[in-house]
Structure 1
Amino acid sequence: MAVDTSAAVPPPSAARPPVTEAVTAVRRPRALVLACAAGLGIVAVTLAAYGLRAWLTASGVAGGLAFWAWTPLAVLLLGQTVLYLCERPARAGEEGQKRLDALHVAVLMPVFNEDNGYLRASLASLLAQSRPPDSVHIVDDGSELSHRQVRRWWTQAAREHGLATSWQRTANHGKRHAQVLAARRCPDADILITVDSDAQLAPDALHEVLQPLADRRVQAVAGLVLARNNRNGLLSRITDLWYVTSQMVERASLSPLGGVMVASGSLAAYRADVLTDHTEGYLSETFMGRPVTFSDDSMLTLYALARGRVVQQPTAVVFTAMPENVGHHLRQYVRWMRGSSLRALWRVRYLPAHHPALLAQVLRWFQQLATTASLLWLLALHLRPGPAPSAVLLIVPLLLTCGQTLRYLVLRRSDQPLASQLATWALTPLAMLWSWAVLRPTRWYGALTCWKTGWGTRQAGAEVALASAATS
């Protein structure tokens, strides 16, 4: 039975309820860090090309085919570096800001078995926005955990802030169904913003994520997702390092082209008709006769790409909970890779041939195949009898990776000193080893089992808890 709590919202009172302490992240002066990253990348590519060529010449490996396979990778890396250095935060301008201010902005938040500490922090961050939403719509998708106390607190807090809201509880039908139910509560919305129930927004996140939408060509905007629990163990540090780097390198390189392929559900803004015009297809997607219940973010992004541009706004920052144990981490990664494989097929099928996201998808396939082949080749060289191969073949990938992960240091977080960020960046060799030895085989396993379209990580209880947050 759905229950609506949006009726008769009184004007805000002078006394507002306390909210969870805000966490912020801003860009450091970037010139030195970016120059170091770009310089190290160029040096690494040069070392790779000439070192590999010299080794091939000396060792007599057949015809230098590996060298010519490496050359496109080097060019791709350099092109990616140039593009991500071109990324700039969008600014609406005076007239554009007036148009944005006039839009009805609705937040959609599905909830399933969320830790109450994270859920309350997420909702509290919505109350603290410099550009508050016009409405917030929450759907509890049949949680087995009780969220009654948070719901009571939220209903009162939203009323005191003058914020229209609804909270529905339904049987468990999945995240897509919950998003559609939430969207139906705000039929007049111009912009729909997806926020995960464990995602705490920086105070200016909504203002920033809306800025690119002043350009009418932009259909969706991805926020920048950081780990809230990034110091809760070695695994959370490594995953935060990889996740932030991938957004600030790969996604940032696609943003100037309008071809961002996934807008993460932790914070993403869509023109409302991206969802409302495709509701039937969104809810009924199948693959090999099976209903698809994951990869919802990338499906919405695909709809947006088919209609126009999708960009990243690097100043729209949100903090989310990353897995803290290996089992949760691997289940999540398998689900992501299965979804990524399905969505790659859909991009090839539905995007026009000239679309930058389609080109990026083809290049990504090449990169994945080439790097996996290179890894297997390096492994074979070290396992074969005879002298060990040149050390440059092992040093070059590490240099490349360290050059890219320098982007992690561009952001200054209010909850983390520079020393802690440097400690995380120093884990790059371990993160690379984890990626090669664990995540790459997991990626291929996910791709080869993409016909298994169930969610795969929905547990009976919250897997990550915010110990410091009140749950009442």
Structure 2
Amino acid sequence: MTSQPMLTARVHRSGTVLAAAVTLVAAAVWAAHHGITAATYGDETGSRLAAVWAVTFLLLLSQTVMYHCERPRRVSPRGRRQLDALNVAVLLPVYNEDEGYLRLGLESFLAQTRRPTSVHVVDDGSTSSDYAAVRAWWLRAAAAAGIATTWQRTPNAGKRHAQAAGVKASPDADIYVTVDSDSCLAPNALAELLIPFAAARVQSVAGLVLATNHRTNLLTRITDLWFTTGQLTDRSALSAMGAVLVNSGPLAAYRAPVVRNNLDSYLNERFMSRRVMFSDDSLLTLYALGRGRTVQQPSAVVFTALPEKASHFTRMYMRWMRGSTIRSVWRMRYLPVTGYAYWAHLARWFQVALSTTVIGWLLLVEPVVYGNLPPASFLVVPFLIGWTQALRYLGVIRSDERMRQRAVTWLLMPLAVAGSWTVLRAMRWWGVATCARTGWGTRQNGAEVALTPAAPAARPAPVQAPLAKLLDPDTETTLQLALPVR
């Protein structure tokens, strides 16, 4: 197996992005106001709609301000020395993963500017491969790099039990880093991920997840746009308050007591008398919230493979929605009412319920019962809001894409919005109704996404001078890793 070309990227903030976001929000407010005043709704209905849109834009404005307040954490030289002394163990569960992606991720550990103390690979009874060649290579490479490592094969018991096997193999760890078997870390990802732990109250840190196969097809483009935007808006807003609700599986870190002290309940979670197989990341984040602050470090970047087929995406998303429903029950029960995370969680469900009600009213009740079609301006509002939030997507500069290529993906936001307001919304509520189905659902018959060595790889594109002048040197980070051109 040969390594893929190195990929570089820059994450930056820009005042231009903030100004554009404010402009688009203002346009959305105007469009909503115009729709209400131009429609033939009665005074009572019009007043209710005006109140609904006022609340919606107030929530949007507050979130916009909060996610622009997020900054990558920095550390003093003394703090860096303390972080360097930490025992950092990486937990890597493997189940029916593509060997190319698995090796790519392992290679990224060797390339870290701050290498982990140990890496613990647990093959959870894979049926598609025994990974003999990868295992032999990794044990030699890790030893040469001075990284302690274990590679276990266990009977299939699920991701949590595979992680627990890694925890038991690293009893002296101070920090546990959880990754997926297709995670490929940027060279400075681990060093950046550890920085927030310089603050004693921080209990978990989420990395920023980008796609390796984002240009494979329309589905991967839109998913990358939607997922990246969500991390840099919703999660960034929560991070500014130290209240991230869900860390992502491809890259997250936890203080060791968060994992060790809750290992029994983590392995034996039950919902409606059924064993819960998924939503492991959100449960670990909930444990962390119970001990202190949970944050995101946007300069800690990891690349992962997105679903390339609709059937794979559907199974993944349904797993997320069912897990989200279960986790919401636990948050209501266990999060302190005095904490910001509790109310942020309630506000999220309020927004979902409110938007669903408004859509149903405007598209069904008004036309069928009252004969009033929604004004065209109302249809513009969701797209303006989507483009506003997706401006954050343009702030992630990748060397395998020029800005105009990412702009083309940004222009696809109406498709993402339309899918989110229809198909994904229906799937969300179906996930609520079927949350008792707690099986994993993907990769049962082997890897569903494969790293193709023969795929054409783009050479790093030079950053043009006008763009370079826009980059904020305080938040710019260079990422390099072996990747194909996801």
Bin for the TM-score computed over the shorter chain: over 0.9
Which whole-Å CA distance do the structure 1 matches of 2:443 and 2:452 have between them? 21
- Deviation at 1:215? 0.4
**Contact 1:20–1:125 (Cα < 8 Å) also in 2:** no
- Deviation at 1:431? 1.2
Matched to 1:416, the amino acid is: E
Partner of 2:290, secondary structure, is helix
In the TM superposition, structure 1's runs of 4+ consecutive aligned residues that sit over 6 Å from their partners are none
User: Larger deviation: 461-470 or 174-183?
Assistant: 461-470
**Contact 2:36–2:46 (Cα < 8 Å) also in 1:** no
Residue of structure 1 in register with 2:388 after alignment: 403
Which whole-Å CA distance do the structure 1 matches of 2:68 and 2:228 have between them? 15
**Contact 1:116–1:150 (Cα < 8 Å) also in 2:** yes
Matched to 2:100, the amino acid is: G
From the superposition, tell whether residues 170 and 401 of structure 1 become closer, same or farther in structure 2 (CA, over 3 Å): same
Partner of 2:300, secondary structure, is strand
Higher relative contact order (CA 8 A, sep 6+): 2
Is 1:144 the counterpart of 2:127? The answer is: yes
- Alignment counterpart, residue 51 of structure 1, candidates 26, 29, 34: 34
Residue of structure 2 in register with 1:170 after alignment: 154
- Deviation at 1:98? 1.4
Partner of 1:132, secondary structure, is coil
From the superposition, tell whether residues 444 and 101 of structure 1 become closer, same or farther in structure 2 (CA, over 3 Å): same
Is 1:434 the counterpart of 2:419? The answer is: yes
Residue of structure 2 in register with 1:11 after alignment: none
- Alignment counterpart, residue 164 of structure 2, candidates 167, 180, 189: 180
Which whole-Å CA distance do the structure 2 matches of 1:373 and 1:52 have between them? 17
- Deviation at 1:328? 0.4
Which whole-Å CA distance do the structure 2 matches of 1:28 and 1:35 have between them? 15
Is 1:416 the counterpart of 2:398? The answer is: no
Which whole-Å CA distance do the structure 2 matches of 1:256 and 1:385 have between them? 44
Residue of structure 1 in register with 2:87 after alignment: 104
RMSD between aligned alpha carbons?
A: 1.8
Which whole-Å CA distance do the structure 1 matches of 2:368 and 2:227 have between them? 32
Matched to 2:446, the amino acid is: G
After TM superposition, list the pairs within 5 Å mapping 1:43-122 onto structure 2: 43-48=27-32, 50-55=33-38, 59-60=42-43, 62=45, 64-122=47-105
Partner of 1:192, secondary structure, is strand
Which whole-Å CA distance do the structure 1 matches of 2:201 and 2:226 have between them? 30
**Contact 1:24–1:203 (Cα < 8 Å) also in 2:** no
Residue of structure 2 in register with 1:444 after alignment: 429
**Contact 1:228–1:320 (Cα < 8 Å) also in 2:** yes
Residue of structure 1 in register with 2:192 after alignment: 208
- Alignment counterpart, residue 311 of structure 2, candidates 327, 334, 339: 327
Matched to 1:168, the amino acid is: Q
**Contact 1:224–1:314 (Cα < 8 Å) also in 2:** yes
**Contact 1:52–1:67 (Cα < 8 Å) also in 2:** no
- Alignment counterpart, residue 331 of structure 2, candidates 347, 363, 377: 347
Residue of structure 1 in register with 2:375 after alignment: 390
Residue of structure 2 in register with 1:7 after alignment: none
**Contact 2:238–2:244 (Cα < 8 Å) also in 1:** yes
Which whole-Å CA distance do the structure 2 matches of 1:29 and 1:190 have between them? 32
Residue of structure 1 in register with 2:470 after alignment: none
Residue of structure 1 in register with 2:176 after alignment: 192
Q: Tell me the TM-score normalised to structure 1 length.
A: 0.92
Residue of structure 1 in register with 2:458 after alignment: none
Matched to 2:61, the amino acid is: L
**Contact 1:196–1:267 (Cα < 8 Å) also in 2:** yes
From the superposition, tell whether residues 22 and 134 of structure 1 become closer, same or farther in structure 2 (CA, over 3 Å): farther
Which whole-Å CA distance do the structure 1 matches of 2:452 and 2:69 have between them? 40
- Deviation at 1:336? 0.0
Is 1:262 the counterpart of 2:246? The answer is: yes
Post-superposition CA distance 1:272-292 (Å, at most 9, x none):
111000010000110010011
- Deviation at 1:196? 0.7
Which whole-Å CA distance do the structure 1 matches of 2:291 and 2:277 have between them? 23
Partner of 1:36, secondary structure, is helix
- Deviation at 1:425? 0.7
Matched to 1:189, the amino acid is: A
Residue of structure 1 in register with 2:10 after alignment: 26
- Deviation at 1:18? 8.0
- Deviation at 1:368? 0.2
Post-superposition CA distance 1:40-94 (Å, at most 9, x none):
123323432x224414676546362232222221111100000001000001212
- Deviation at 1:453? 1.1
- Alignment counterpart, residue 238 of structure 1, candidates 197, 219, 222: 222
**Contact 1:22–1:203 (Cα < 8 Å) also in 2:** no
Which whole-Å CA distance do the structure 2 matches of 1:407 and 1:279 have between them? 36
Residue of structure 2 in register with 1:362 after alignment: 346
From the superposition, tell whether residues 340 and 387 of structure 1 become closer, same or farther in structure 2 (CA, over 3 Å): closer
**Contact 1:263–1:297 (Cα < 8 Å) also in 2:** yes
Which whole-Å CA distance do the structure 1 matches of 2:64 and 2:287 have between them? 27
Which whole-Å CA distance do the structure 2 matches of 1:79 and 1:174 have between them? 39
- Deviation at 1:35? 1.9
- Deviation at 1:111? 0.3
- Deviation at 1:152? 1.1
- Alignment counterpart, residue 444 of structure 2, candidates 459, 464, 470: 459
What fraction of aligned residue pairs are identical, expressed as a percent?
53
Which whole-Å CA distance do the structure 1 matches of 2:405 and 2:197 have between them? 35
Is 1:284 the counterpart of 2:268? The answer is: yes
**Contact 1:19–1:128 (Cα < 8 Å) also in 2:** no
- Deviation at 1:19? 5.4
Which whole-Å CA distance do the structure 1 matches of 2:291 and 2:372 have between them? 56
Matched to 2:143, the amino acid is: R
Which whole-Å CA distance do the structure 2 matches of 1:111 and 1:295 have between them? 17
Matched to 1:454, the amino acid is: G
User: Larger deviation: 410-419 or 227-236?
Assistant: 410-419
**Contact 2:39–2:374 (Cα < 8 Å) also in 1:** no
Structure 2 gap segments, 5+ residues each: 455-483
Residue of structure 1 in register with 2:111 after alignment: 128
